[in-house]
Structure formats: structure tokens, C-alpha cells
Amino acid sequence: MKLSKRFVACMTACTIACGLISSHLLSAEASTLSSLQQQQQQLQQQINQNQNALSQVNKEIDRMEAERKEYQLYLDDQKSEMINLMKDIAYYETAIEEKTQSIADATVELEAAMKLRDEQYDAMMVRIQYMYESGSNDNYLSMLLTSQGFTDFLNRAEYVDNLYAYDSAMLSDYEQLVAGITTMRDTLEMDKRNLEEEQVLLDEHKIELERIMAELEDTISDYNKLVADAEKKAKEYKTQIASGQSKIEIIKKQQEEEVKRQQLLAQQQQQQNNGGGSDKVVGTGTGAEVAEFALQYVGNPYVWGGTSLTNGADCSGFIMSVYAQFGYALPHSSFSMRRSGIGVSLEEAQAGDIICYSGHVAIYIGDGRIVHAKGDEYGIVTDPVYYGWGGTGPTVLAVRRIIN
């Protein structure tokens, strides 16, 4: 396409200024490259700080994990002791129940023995009263008179004496039995008291163990929370480090693209100095091809300061990178793009032209529509030229044509 007459007329007036403008652009781009390097250094410093912080957090996690492990081992020991203590308490409870039953049985036996003793004693007293207090002499006389002889009398008297001896022996046996059962019951009751005292000590020990274990569990719970918080912090540091490294990779790509663009600008300046007078250096393609190429990246993210068509770019970075694919070096600045190429009216706009707004730029794709890196919430999208609410939108300040 031939240059417009307006552009040809302006070229003569701009010849002297071209060298100054190109020098200014190169200086600005060198500043941009320096700014990228400064950003990279700042990001690397931040990454180093985050790595140091991450290292400290990991050391703190290791320390807390070791302490938590020691408390857990101590708690496990206390739990083992509690298990053995519960076994002992169960044993003493069973033993106390058995002693209580034995005491009850001994009490029954004692009561039975005492009853038999008392019954024997009462029977003996009845016989004594009958034989001695109720005319025992007459009984002896009757026994003598009715005896068949002296020998028979002695036998009868011996019977009475044997009866007394039997009763006496029986009472003595019962007294010994009562005494033995009493002693046994006293012993059982003493054993029971000893068992109960041991159980009281065991119960006190159990309460103390429960208190210690509760404190240990609270301590371990505190460590778990501290470790969880530290791990969360470590995760944040890792995310920040990864984000920083990703940003550095983006900046490196931007630096590569910036170097390439500066090389193209240098070639452009050289060509202008040699009288070429064109913004196109080794550019190829048409505006329609530029627009079609740009549409491939719809859906990719917006990244402020970015120039990557895939990983993210801002509005001017997107256009700069698209045109760079066709050999055109454009500044990474929406303001500077308003001075690139030649100006045309919006009515004359063709696919590939740059639509310039206040602080924003887009590529015209035809039929009143644009493709642009719209913002963080949108990424790279297509819109009407006036993409505001109700068909209104930002004012178009300029339309610049790069490919003629």
C-alpha cells in the first residue's frame, strides 16, 4: 500500500528530528532494559530473603518436631504405666471383693459356732441344775440304792463324771473354734484394710497419671498447632519463591525480547540515518496477518509489564510482541505507540492498525472490533472498539498504522 500524501509531506519536516527521536527511543529502551534488570535483582533479593526465612522456618519445624516426639514418647510411657496401674487396681478390687466375701463367710461360721457353743453350754447348765441343784444327792442315793452292787454304783457315778467331762470338752472345743474363727475374721479384716489402703494409693496415682497425661496431650496439641502454622508459613514462602522465580523467568524472556527489539530499533535508526525513512526494518506480512496472528492468543493471561504471548502480557507488551513476530520493533509503552507508524482516522482503520486510548492500546481486527490485553480479570480478549457499558467506552485518541 502506498504511503499517504500527508505522511510524505511530513517526512521532509521530520528528517532533522528523526535522529534525535531515535536516540531518545534507544535511550528509553535502554532504560527499560535496565529497569527489567533492576526488577530481576529485586526479585532475586526477595527470593533469597524468602529462602533464608524458609530455611529458618524448616529448622524451627525440625526442632519442634523433635520436642514433640520426646513428649509423645513420654506420653506413651505414661499410657503404658496407666495400663499396668489399671490392671493393679482391677486386681485389688477383685481381692477386696474376695476378702469381703471371706469375711462374710467367716462371720457366718463364727455366728454358727457361737450358737452351738451357747446351746451346748445351756444344755450342760440344764443337766447340772437338774442333777445338782434339783437333788443331786438324792440322785446319787437313788443310783446307789438301785444299783446292783458297788461296782454298778461306781459305773453310774463315772457316767455322771463322763457327762461333765464331755460337756467341758465340747465347750472347750467350741471356745477354740470361736477363737479361731474370730482370729481368722480379724486377719481378713486387716488384710481388707491393707488392700483398701493400697487401692487408695493406686487411685491417687491414677489421678496423678491422668493429670500428667492431660498436660502432655495439651503440650503435644500446642506443638501440633505450632508445627501446622510453621508448615503453613513454609508453604507460603515456597509459593512466594516459586512465584518470584516464575516472574524472573518472565523478566528474562522480556529481557530477551527487549534486546531483540532494541536490535531492531538500532537497525531502524541505521536505516533512517541512511535515508530509508521507514518504520519497517525487515518487517513482513500484512496488517490482516498481524490481526489474525494476534487472535491466536485470545484467552491467555494479562500480566502487568509482561511481554509473553503465552505466559502473559500487558496491553503494549502484547502488541509489541505480536509485531515483533513480523519484524517490527515497537516500544513497550502505550504512550510511545501513539507516535509509532502513521496516523489514520478511525473511519480508515484497517486490520492490524493500533487503536490508542488513554493509557491503553489494542489491535484493530476489522468490523469495529479489537483484540487486546484488557486487564487482570479478563486477559487477552476481543471487544468492540468502544468496549464500555452501553456501547460507549474510552475515547479513541489515535489510530496508528504500522504496516502500509
∠ Cα 368 371 377 (to 5°): 120
Q: Can you list the domains of the chain with their CATH numbers? A: 16-134+181-277 (1.10.287), 281-404 (3.90.1720.10)
Sign of the CA dihedral 313, 315, 316, 322? Answer: positive
Render pLDDT for 102-151 as a digit per residue (tens, 0 to 9). Answer: 888 878 887 887 787 777 777 766 766 666 555 554 555 565 556 565 56
Structure-block grid coordinates of residue 379: 486477559
Amino acid letter, 363: I
With cell 511481554, the residue in question is 307
Structure-block grid coordinates of residue 180: 479361731
Q: Which pLDDT does position 119 carry in this prediction?
A: 77
pLDDT interval class at 154 (50, 70, 90) = low
CB count in 10 Å sphere of residue 93: 13
194 class by beta-carbon count within 10 Å (0-12 exposed, 13-18 middle, 19+ buried): middle
Say if residues 267 and 282 touch (Cβ distance below 8 Å).
Answer: yes
Q: Which pLDDT does position 24 carry in this prediction?
A: 35
Whole-prediction pTM:
0.49
Q: Is residue 379 left, alpha or beta, with left meaning phi > 0 and alpha meaning psi from -120 to 50?
A: left
Q: What are phi and psi of 365, to 5 degrees?
A: -115, 0
Render pLDDT for 1-48 as a digit per residue (tens, 0 to 9). Answer: 333 333 233 333 333 223 322 333 333 344 467 877 888 899 999 999
Render pLDDT for 192-232 as a digit per residue (tens, 0 to 9). Answer: 888 888 888 888 998 999 999 999 999 999 999 999 999 99
Q: Can you tell me the distance from the alpha carbon of 354 to that of 385, in angstroms, rounded to the nearest whole number?
A: 11
Q: Which pLDDT does position 182 carry in this prediction?
A: 82
Render pLDDT for 283-299 as a digit per residue (tens, 0 to 9). Answer: 678 999 999 999 999 99
Tell me 302's DSSP state.
Answer: B
Structure-block grid coordinates of residue 295: 487472535
Say if residues 247 and 304 touch (Cβ distance below 8 Å).
Answer: no
Element holding 290 (H helix, E strand) = helix 287-295
Determine which of 118-132, 297-311, 327-341 has the lowest per-residue pLDDT on average: 118-132
Q: Which residues contact 195 (CB under 8 A, 6 or more apart)?
A: 92, 95, 96, 99
CB count in 10 Å sphere of residue 299: 8
Name the CA radius of gyration of the chain, rounded.
Answer: 57
